[in-house]
Chain A
Amino acid sequence: METLALSEPVLLLLLSLVEQPRHGYSILKDVESMSGGRVLLSTGTLYGALQRLLTEGWIERVEEDDNPRDRRTYRLTSRGRRNLQLEVERMRHLTKLAALRMGRKEA
């Protein structure tokens, strides 16, 4: 069966945009802080993911007149938020299943 889960970096990236729109460097630091320094994104990886998410319509740029070109802000779209919720739901289901199976084995 094909695995369909989002990667941890992309999941953390999306989670960092849940609360508020952020620019690239802020996302980088937030991902690092959320993962306790375990997930360190390079700029190449970060912007690769941002570009893909923009293309897929999961995130969008916040258009502001005073936003300099090298400090653009990104936010989740309603589609991205819905997809993230579905992904979290999928993970919750997996966690429940794992707990159930492991509990049964231990019993």
Chain B
Amino acid sequence: MVLTVYCWLLCLYPGSYRREFGEEMTSVFCKARSDLPPALAAKISFYRREFCGLLSGALRAHLDRLFGPAVPFRRFDMQPQFRFPRSTVLLMLVIFAGTVLTIAKASSIAGARPGSVWPSFVSVVALMLLTMCTAAAVVVGILHALRRSGVYRLENVQGRIDSVESNGRVP
């Protein structure tokens, strides 16, 4: 089951990337999974890290393919390991609010009398706005996670090294 989800998420990567690394990534994932300690917390942490890493990696691979390596992330700092940023709390609150609103909307539709069009219309517009905000927050969350995944400064370092080599001194 988990392996199937992993393979589905791998499908989010560009085809060329999948052909080059797909088998290897799946094999490493299987080995890492078989070495997991029995504690539930360790398992949850492992799957969270793996699936978030895959999502951000897939987005990154597509951005690289479209815009070239590291263009939008040149100045981003990197962190030693993937962690949920504080903004995740906000994101989860937005999603929670969306769920509550959807349930409220469904209840109001179930008990609505014919003719009360305007309140429903306002709710639908509010729901649409909320959905758009949620989508935007998800994208921002993924981008935020991306910058914490730790692979984006090689180009800068290479530039620095080239400059060192051309000037012949270490700054």
Contacts and interface: CB of A to CB of B under 8 A. Distances in A.
Given A25-B28, A83-B158, A48 B80 contact: no
Interface in A34-77: 35, 38-53, 55-56, 58, 69-72
Given A42-B49, A56-B158, A83-B157, A7 B56 contact: no
12 contacts: A10-B150, A10-B153, A24-B24, A40-B81, A41-B53, A42-B82, A43-B25, A44-B25, A44-B50, A52-B154, A56-B154, A72-B24
Contacts, number: 132
Given A39-B81, A45-B53, 13 more contacts: A4-B153, A7-B151, A7-B152, A24-B27, A24-B28, A25-B31, A28-B32, A42-B54, A44-B54, A47-B57, A55-B69, A83-B158, A90-B170
B95 interface: no
B160 A42 contact: no
Interface in A1-41: 2-10, 24-25, 28, 35, 38-41
Contacts of A24: 24-25, 27-28
A44 B58 contact: yes
B87 interface: no
Interface residues of A, number: 42
A9 to B, nearest CB: 4
Given A9-B150, A42-B54, A47 B157 contact: no
Specify which of A39, A52, A58, A71 lies most central, judged by the most chain B CB atoms within 10 Å of its CB: A52
Contacts of A71: 24, 27
A47 to B, nearest CB: 5
A51 B69 CA distance: 11
Given A2-B75, A46-B28, A47-B24, A39 B154 contact: no
A43 B161 contact: no
